[in-house]
Structure 1
């Protein structure tokens, strides 16, 4: 059994990187989600009372941070630079070491901070439900994602323009490998604090990229990790929705699931955020958006290192992305690689066929996993025709490495499904559908 190993590593950076804050004073309504297995995995064997103490009232975890810290950062939000942001409704609550990884406990909805601006620092219960569902589904599909640890409902009634109000409130805690964003670097560069930039790079090398020996090598690893993350989103049919630089983690881990969506069908222009009027972060534009964000990080790092190696790493982003996309798509299909050239051609054909045929996205991956080509599929008729016959012939050359799923339907998390899960919660406080869906989403296909 693991033992909890608390850390205070963030203190290595100093006061220019955070502000000490106090959590809001919440009244308990109920613990709506707690990942007991995840907690035990990192050595936290907690009673129900302790769950409330730590993740509602934020009693300090012994040996970790004595007080919560709201981290300072800037960011490009829909390509417009914003120097007035930071942890506005969350904070870094604690840190621990697990399997040689530094993990951060980050909150959402835990109260106002110096960066809240006009916000109330709160989280709607629906927002917390959506994040717990997203992280469960993405983790099962092999995406490098934060994990939702706790979601606790409070007794506040919140006013929101995008939800029927008043709406129920909650506070959430997620577990992440790093709370450092691209925007953390941008803030120090904005103020010309090169010593802080150097210190931040060294912190990241120490705790996240031990193999790097300098700024350029650190950046190269961030490029590779980021390419892998966005490739995994594309294979999962996931649209992040708000790919601002303050939402990009330097470890490549995706987090902060606000207006996300999963594809019902492959549509490159499919967007997640109702306010993304120009489709900047549409499904098909996510790789380009990640490349643009990495360029902003390189610009910040150029204050402390030569441009040439940064540019070289950025120019390799497309190749890293393609290799990662191949790996994630073949993993989702449960088959082995046939070499880069064959893989590239097959995956391009697959995505084009899915777009042209408008075959339901979640069911496709379920039906063909492990070479199955399920004749009993709920959409078997969708695979009729010469284009699918040719595709199946190409697919047959890939050797299966995992068994086809036993269930006859695909695990999915479409927008309409979340609404259907939320309705009984909102009307009757019935959580049975939510709990069943979490179990369903734990299956990768």
Structure 2
């Protein structure tokens, strides 16, 4: 019995040059690792059907669900600033789009589903570690309130994937508002394919910016969404690690959790990615990189916008939009409900004290307003000086200390997916024990609550537990 899903595949109705239609490559012995039941229900899907033998076969790529039109999308992109004229889904297959009972549309994509014409000599597979990492981090981001792709399921394949050695293979089911990227527009712009650009722009507007005034309106919408997204990243100490233009979505969702990480000790130029040798995508550079990527989108859309000036004006507004979002995020993090001229400098002085005092980013913000805050800083005198300034600023606020602390706890998480905990879960999973993986996911589902039995997951890594680098999921 095959699995049927409520597909309505608008991307597959675009011209053939947008994709290659092909089925996933079957695997030897699929087995379910995790199924996101709450997300399945939100999508209007039956969790029991997905967990059945037929469902697991579909999630592994061994069977095509009824209504699916599997395809690999083509796109281009700037990778670490270097132009790649053709990229595309090298190890992913878009099964189709489901429409929820509320009318929202989502892509259902399998990652690690076998080679495609865009695999560039790769095997098209994924090993278990990156699949577990993406599941953990994408669902944690969703719980933190950050726009993100989602994890519907993870399955093992029963096959071995060769990387630095033999590793267990896996397939990840990713849910996204769409997989349209800046690089998708770049692909057609580089080929001077104006008809395709028009079709893609119309499709993107219908999907993400209904009512937008043409290509310029779409660009303005993407800029606003990305300004908000990057500000949220910065407020959580999140480092994407590989902000190539093919990893920036039109929807404003975070996508591709490869060499990503949440900082422990704060440093504005922290880099985790093993392939970011020059710090292009360091934490503090993410807003500038976002603006650079958006300028590439503007360039790709110029044939439709018609004039440089309005496109340039839209890009030039990004710093102002980002600053406003950044201030909104960080004012809330330090308990400010009103605006004052010196707020930005006050926030930066705290960040400077954190960097100089080697303070844990997440725990420092979580502890603000409690006696334990100064214990996060090696230089406690620096924190004391900042705290006096902060208390003076708070005197202009009308909220009570109790209400303020409660509000701060709603934006400063106690739990984040710390890299060493992810690594521990992966190592256990490779050995056949998924207990740490499921426990970590359960804890991260309520990141702002009192950690309770998960309090140990708040602890920064010991020197022996530090994971200095993270890696792409290829």
Q: TM (normalized to structure 1)?
A: 0.90
Distance 2:66 2:190 in 1: 36
Residues 128 and 430 in structure 2, CA contact (< 8 A), matched pair in contact too: no
Q: Which runs of 5+ in 2 are unaligned?
A: 449-474
Tell me which of 134, 156, 177 is aligned to 2:137: 134
Counterpart Cα distance in 2 of 1:189 and 1:138:
32
Compute the displacement of 1:155 (Å): 1.1
Shift of 1:29: 4.5
State the partner residue of 1:364: 364
> Is 1:268 paired with 2:272?
no
Structure 1 position 410 matched with structure 2 position 394: no
The C-alpha deviation readout for 1:104-149, integer Å capped at 9, x for no partner, is 1122101100001110000110011111111122222221111111
Deviation per CA, 1:3-50: give whole Å up to 9, x if none.
x75311113322110110110111335211110000011110132214
**Alpha-carbon distance in 1 for matches of 2:203, 2:178:** 11
**Structure 1 residues 106, 331: CA separation in 2 closer, same or farther (over 3 Å shift)?**
farther
Q: Secondary structure at 2:221's aligned position in 1?
A: helix
Matched residues in 2 for 1:5 and 1:402: separation? Answer: 41
Q: Against the structure 1 CA distance between its residues 87 and 218, is the aligned structure 2 distance closer, same or farther, given a 3 Å change threshold?
A: same
d(CA) in 1 for partners of 2:9 and 2:435? 38
Contact 2:86 2:187 in 1 (8 A): no
Moved more, 413-422 or 76-85: 413-422
Secondary structure of 2:153's partner?
strand
Render the CA deviation track for 1:156-178: whole Å, top value 9, x for unaligned: 111113xxx21111000111111
Segment drifting more, 381-390 vs 244-253? 381-390
Structure 1 residue 297, shift from structure 2 partner = 0.7
Secondary structure of the corresponding residue to residue 6 of structure 1: coil
Contact 1:18 1:69 in 2 (8 A): yes
Cα deviation, 1:213-267, whole Å, max 9, x if unaligned, reads 2111110111111111111111111111111101110111111111111111221
Which region of structure 1 is more displaced relative to structure 2, 33-42 or 335-344?
Answer: 335-344
Deviation at 1:403, TM superposition (A): 5.1
| Partners of 2:113 and 2:124 within 8 A in 1 | yes
How do residues 79-98 of structure 1 correspond to structure 2 at under 5 angstroms? 79-98=81-100
Are 2:330 and 1:329 equivalent residues in the alignment? yes
Q: What corresponds to 1:156 in structure 2?
A: 159
Q: Using the alignment, how far apart are the partners of 1:240 and 1:270 within structure 2?
A: 11
- Secondary structure, in 3 states, of the residue corresponding to 2:90? coil
Over residues 373-418 of structure 1, what are the superposed CA-to-partner deviations in whole Å (9 max), with x where a residue is unaligned?
A: 2235694676842324325415635542845659xx9313232222
CA distance in 2, matches of 1:340, 1:185: 41
Q: Does the C-alpha gap of structure 1 residues 247 and 58 become closer, same or farther in structure 2, counting only changes over 3 Å?
A: farther
Task: Say if 2:24 and 2:113, in contact at 8 Å, map to a contact too.
Answer: yes
What is the SS of the residue equivalent to 2:277?
A: coil
Q: Which moved more, 1:76-85 or 1:47-56?
A: 47-56
Q: How does 1:354-393 map to 2 (within 5 A)?
A: 354-368=354-368, 373-375=369-371, 379=375, 384-385=380-381, 386-393=384-391
Residues in 2 aligned to 1:310 and 1:300: alpha-carbon distance in whole angstroms = 10
Deviation at 1:200, TM superposition (A): 0.8
Cα distance in 1, alignment partners of residues 379 and 187 from structure 2: 51
Provide the rounded CA distance (Å) in 2 between the counterparts of 1:245 and 1:88: 16
- Alpha-carbon distance change, 197 to 421 in structure 1, aligned in 2, over 3 angstroms: same
For 2:20, what is the secondary structure of its paired residue?
A: strand
| Counterparts of residues 273-312 of structure 1 (less than 5 Å) | 273-305=273-305, 306-312=307-313
Note the C-alpha offset of 1:345.
3.3
In 2, Cα distance between the equivalents of 1:216 and 1:117? 34
Partner residue, 1:52 = 56
For residue 336 of structure 1, report the CA deviation from its aligned partner: 4.9
Query: For each residue in 1:62-91, what CA deviation from the matched residue of structure 2 results, as whole angstroms up to 9, or x when unmatched?
Result: 44x3x3110010000111110231100002
CA distance in 2, matches of 1:330, 1:285: 21
Q: Which residue of 2 aligns with 1:169?
A: 169
Distance, in Å, in 1 between the alignment partners of 2:156 and 2:19 is 27
- Bigger drift between 386-395 and 86-95 goes to 386-395
Cα displacement (A) at 1:56: 1.3
Normalising by structure 2, we get a TM-score of 0.85
Match of 2:188 in 1: 188
Contact 1:23–1:58, Cα closer than 8 Å, also in 2: yes
Q: 1:231 to 1:183 in 2, by over 3 A?
A: same
What residue is the counterpart of 1:396 in the other structure? 394
Q: Does structure 2 retain, via aligned residues, the 8 Å contact 1:28–1:56? A: no
Question: Does the 8 Å contact 2:30/2:158 carry over to 1?
Answer: yes
